[in-house]
Amino acid sequence: MNRVVHPIEQESYRRLRARLDTSHFPPLTRAVVERVIHSAADLDYASDLVLDEGQLEKAHVALHAGAPVVVDVEMVGAGITRRETVCRLRDAESGPGLTRSAHAIRLAHEQVGPGALWVIGNAPTALEELLTLDAAPALVIGLPVGFVGAVESKAALRESGLPAVSNVSEKGGSAVAAAALNALLYHPVSHPAAPSDSQSEEKS
């Protein structure tokens, strides 16, 4: 079912594009950048976000093929529409050297296994914990907010080589993390072209 865009949202995007030229971004990068900016009314995200179009393309395919979506807090999950999410924070407990948010990530990893999309918008320790696991994610949207640990955890995500959406500054939060995932959910799915005769012969 096609998503119906409310007139207020249409006008908001018109004003956004009048103030910021996003036409040079490739399609999925533009979709994520615009939706994050729209969610925060903060044009600085255009230069703060770090994205890779090829990684977004693979994540987009995985997401629309039904890959699980894991969130660090329920507020992120509440902002993600048209898809059920996994959040294990209610089941988690803190312990020596382990925050409740980090334990929730462990529990979620045990539940979903490899190939999930992870959306972290609140706790830097959740992102730090994810990086210690063999999660083999389809994508990590790592946009935790805060003055303690947020910048460092996002830098570590970029250094990990995992497919990721992150940002350089302390900014972030549940709304922008959910917006980044929603951008991939709302972006149209293109159907692959049928193989040519020569490709068919090569496979036969």
Determine which one of 6, 38, 60, 191 is catalytic. Answer: 38
For residue 38, indicate whether it is catalytic: yes
3-state secondary structure the chain: CCCCCCHHHHHHHHHHHHHCCCCCCCHHHHHHHHHHHHHHCCCCHHHHEECCHHHHHHHHHHHHCCCCEEECCHHHHHHCCCCCCECCHHHCCCECCECHHHHHHHHHHHHHCCCCEEEECCCHHHHHHHCCCCCCCCEEEECCCCCCCHHHHHHHHHHHCCCEEEECCCCCCHHHHHHHHHHHHHCCCCCCCCCCHHHHHHHC
Give the residue numbers marked as catalytic.
Answer: 38
